[in-house]
Structure 1
Amino acid sequence: MLLLTVLGATLGVAFGVAATCALAFLCRRLKKLRRLFKIPENKCLESTAKERNILHTAQQFRVKKTMEPVQPRNWLTSPKIYGPKPVITLLEFINCTDYTLERMDERLSARGEEANISSLMVDSSEDLFVISKSAPTDAVSLSDDAESEISEDWKEDVKLHYGIHYNRYKSELYLTIIEAQNINMVENMNHPDSYVVAALITKLGKAKAETSIQTKTLHPIWQDTLTFPVLEEHVQEGTLTLAVYSCDKYSRQDCVGEAQLKLSSLAVGERTDSWISLTAPVKDSSHGEILLSISYLPAANRLIVVVMKAQHLNTDKLKDPLDVSIKLTLMHQSLKLKRKHTRHVKHKINPVWNEMIMFECPYEMLCKSSLELELLNQDCTGQNHLLGKCSLGMNYSDSELNHWQEMLTKPRKQIAMWHKLHE
């Protein structure tokens, strides 16, 4: 009996728990169903409320309908103007002295003619005039010589402002470079860096000095004083040469203008200053110029040469079209160590390569080595013709030497410079 009692109690508890769970599940389902049914009901209620509001607001206003056409008022009126402007550049209007200005309506009223004013109504706010010609004139045209003379007059020379004084007690000639104007004659240099080089030539020799560099200006102001030691007996027979140079970021130097002064014609004993016009330098027979960038990596013993571009190539004597390439030769004294070529660039006067070439060379040999560059043009038969060449190394001068020395003193740095090509 006890066992049955326990079993009955257990079953009762189980049925109670199951019934509770079933009721809870049904309640949750009913809540979900109510939520689902509440949304459309709310929407319907909102829509009906809106309709009621709309109907209610529509009942507040009274709309009066009418079928009468509405005519807009013409507030804008076109101004009364005159005929079109004459073209002053016509031949019949050139060099006319007897012209009178009159309005179109005055001309029509003088002739007694009625003009259709409506045809002359155009949107404009200025009075236009016609020119009545009272005397016949002939058209004048400028000849080519006159045009060339006018264009030459517009060309301004480079002018240099300087001061000069000789100190007899110290036996020194002082040259003060003050300023310069019109430094805009160098091609591809809009705002160049400029400086002045002065040279005093006497029987004893040649002394040379230069000013500081003024950057990115067409009107440089230096206020630099250059000192030349010279005896008084050699002053009157001396010649002073002044030259203005421009340079860019690749150390390309171009002479803008130069002039020579005879000290015998100057009052060097007094402090004087004056302006002088510089003449354009005589262009040398250059075969163009090339832009190179070189660097040396000591850890890898590598010489890196970047052939960038060339310009102003002398192609007057060429019969074949351009097909240019660069041949680079690394030499140690008179021995050729390595030779390499760049790619070919066709039909371009200013070719661009931007090609990198590497040579292996120890640093000990680099001081006695040199780099030779040849610009070659290939004809239709495959033969190469030399257009120009240049060499970099310690055995050369000017920019070719400076470029090589700067590479040795600044390892692992790319240094780019322009070099002129020669035969």
Structure 2
Amino acid sequence: MAETINVEEKRMYDTVECGNWMKDQEYMLSDEIPTVVGIFSAFGLVFTVSLFAWICCQRKSSKSNKTPPYKFVHVLKGVDIYPENLNSKKKFGADDKNEVKNKPAVPKNSLHLDLEKRDLNGNFPKTNLKAGSPSDPENATPKLTLEGEKEAVSPDSLKSSTSLTSEEKQEKLGTLFFSLEYNFERKAFVVNIKEARGLPAMDEQSMTSDPYIKMTILPEKKHKVKTRVLRKTLDPAFDETFTFYGIPYTQIQELALHFTILSFDRFSRDDIIGEVLIPLSGIELSEGKMLMNREIIKRNVRKSSGRGELLISLCYQSTTNTLTVVVLKARHLPKSDVSGLSDPYVKVNLYHAKKRISKKKTHVKKCTPNAVFNELFVFDIPCEGLEDISVEFLVLDSERGSRNEVIGQLVLSAAAEGTGGEHWKEICDYPRRQIAKWHVLCDG
């Protein structure tokens, strides 16, 4: 009996121990499940992030292999900021002494383009220069030289070789020095704006200027780049390089460079000193870097072609004392420069007693001389009647990265002459009636 009791007690003890062990296992499993889930979640997150990073790298590498057309890199004072290093290859801003070649100077025909002979669209005729064709002594420009003869175009030698009379000095707007180069390995067109000499003083008080230069590649007008502003100098030394990638060498002959020399004005529109237009047809860049200089000429303003026309609709509400202005269309707008079509928009200013009290503007219309706006603006008039009210319309060319240029101007008021005054009289005589008229724009 004693043995039977001991066996029963032993079985009961084993059963209790087994139950306790099962409970311990359950507790252990309940503690390990969150840990396992967390580990798997972490591995999944790491895998997802790695996959996303790999996809981004693949897309970035595929995009970097495709060189977009006319991609340019600005190099300041010979420091190349392009993300890829050139290693042992020739850098664009390298020392000029390392690139001197023992080659005789090859004479080049001077290039000249008469800006007055442009057609109505502002395009210049293509000129095919021949080696044996004589050059016009009146239109002759300084000769092109190789980089090895850099000393031949020094400012001192230029001053000594060109003796000008007092009348000619007053007409001269200075000389622009620059260099052109083509890198065949990278298919890159490199333009270095070195300096300008003998600029006129645009500030009458200080008798100096704050010059800078804007450059455009024609005729596509792909990019507009500009140098920094140099303060209070008539002989600015810029030494800035602009590198354009993705331009085939065969296309260089079809392009032209347009330089606009300006003087910065803090309180008003920048003053235009002059311009330089360089057609690249006939220039062989395969021989190395070309040092060039050109006389700055007065900017060609084609007043004969007009500034275009603007269709405006006005309505005066005498009961609510409001003026409704609808900018409808613009036509025959001129090119803001020789580089191509304008990107026009209209800015509307409301004046009361010669003080601007409100301003509006339309959206920009891309690359068109005949823009359709159809935008309505409502102005509250602060006085009864329109005697002291005037509305100014400015048609501007939108330029990214620089100050917008005024294409034409129109003022409608009781004191305005021509169609502006007639239109204003009609809306005063016939209130609550929408009256539209075409107006010729004048210089802004």
TM tier relative to shorter chain: 0.3 to 0.5
Structure number with higher strand proportion: 1
Which structure has the larger Rg over C-alpha atoms? 1
Q: Report the TM-score when normalising by structure 1.
A: 0.36
Which gives a bigger RCO, structure 1 or 2 (Cα 8 Å, sep 6+)? 2
TM-score (norm 2): 0.35
